[in-house]
Amino acid sequence: MTAPLIDPFARAITYLRVSVTDRCDFRCVYCMSENMTFLPKKELLTLEELDRMCSTFIGMGVEKLRITGGEPLVRKGIMTFFDTMSRHLDSGALRELTLTTNGSQLERFADDLYAAGVRRVNISLDTLDQDKFAAITRWGRLPQVLRGIDAAQRAGLRIKINAVALKGFNEPELPSITRWCAERDMDLTWIEVMPMGDLGNEDRLDQYWSLDDVRAEYARSYTVTDLAERTGGPARYVRLEETGQKIGFITPLTHNFCESCNRVRLTCTGELYMCLGQEDMADLRAPLRSHPDSDDALRTAIRDAISRKPKGHDFDYSRQRADGQMSRHMSHTGG
């Protein structure tokens, strides 16, 4: 029952992304609609259930745990969960505990996260222009995020900035965002916008900025060297020789990364998605709640789910339509 998780394509599943809430204090246009209907709290896994769920995965070979949302730090009592997960770091069973955040709550929680064993955080930030930031997040305040970044760096957290590449929006900022990250010794990863949520396909096509074009833009100003490095996620990395900084590219559309996929995603309601770009999922909440004294049924359900993990997603813009469109919002599955 504790044998490693291997999918049908001989990929070891060692990375679990866990959404702890569907709620967020922003309403980013590519992630949520402006007037979201959130889940009833009784449908969400409790913090104790999240602990039990994650601990079961760790016992089956998961070595990296990334906490996501929504915005994970708006979940009431979330630091209790981080504190309990730190025991798996202490035992050596868990190699890394980290999170993806919009940065809005880091001013409050950076020191506590470091104390719980978190050493790296990914911060979603698509623009350094206050007006554009307010527009794309709808409710967000850039100065609050920048203060959070300051607090995280003071606490000793290593920061990677995740920027969604959006044509006509942050194209002109590529040089300034890159310089800003270099000056602050922060890594930067660009992400292609994915066809998820209820925005029309035409919107996604208008927003889509191929990372091949982003790389070509870098090559006009820098010497770009490919790196073999992987951090356990889907990004491919290059080094800009003039600054020495590392730039990542997450390219689900121009160059999908499915052949090396080692991850699955757990929603805040206990649904396990074996692929971000497929609708198939497994309900793990039912075996968790129906067998409170044993994890055997949960382990069996996890193994059955992994046995159905597909070879890859179907995201495709090449025919000038957003093939592979997912009906669920990114915030539902976890960023």
pLDDT(165) > 50 = yes
Q: Which residues contact 176 (CB under 8 A, 6 or more apart)?
A: 128
For the annotated binding site for [4Fe-4S] cluster, the residues are 24, 28, 31, 258, 261, 275
What are the structural domains, with CATH classification, of the chain?
15-333 (3.20.20.70)
Q: For residue 325, what pLDDT band results from cuts at 50, 70 and 90?
A: very low
pLDDT(277) > 70 = no
Q: At what angle do helices 142-155 and 130-137 cross, to 10 degrees?
A: 100
Q: At what angle do helices 78-91 and 106-115 cross, to 10 degrees?
A: 30
* pLDDT of the residue at 278: 73
Average model confidence (pLDDT) across the chain? 88
The one-letter amino acid code at 98 reads T
In percent, how much of the chain has pLDDT > 70?
86
For residues 93-102, average pLDDT: 97
pLDDT digits (tens, 9 = 90+) for 221-257: 999 999 988 765 678 899 999 999 999 998 865 455 5
For the annotated binding site for S-adenosyl-L-methionine, the residues are 30, 70, 124, 194
For the annotated binding site, the residues are 17, 24, 28, 30-31, 66, 70, 100, 124, 160, 194, 258, 261, 263-265, 275
Q: Which residues contact 30 (CB under 8 A, 6 or more apart)?
A: 164, 166, 193, 196, 197, 199, 207, 330
For the annotated binding site for GTP, the residues are 17, 66, 100, 160, 263-265
Which range has the worst mean pLDDT, 121-125, 192-196, 235-239?
192-196
Which range has the worst mean pLDDT, 35-44, 247-256, 324-333?
324-333
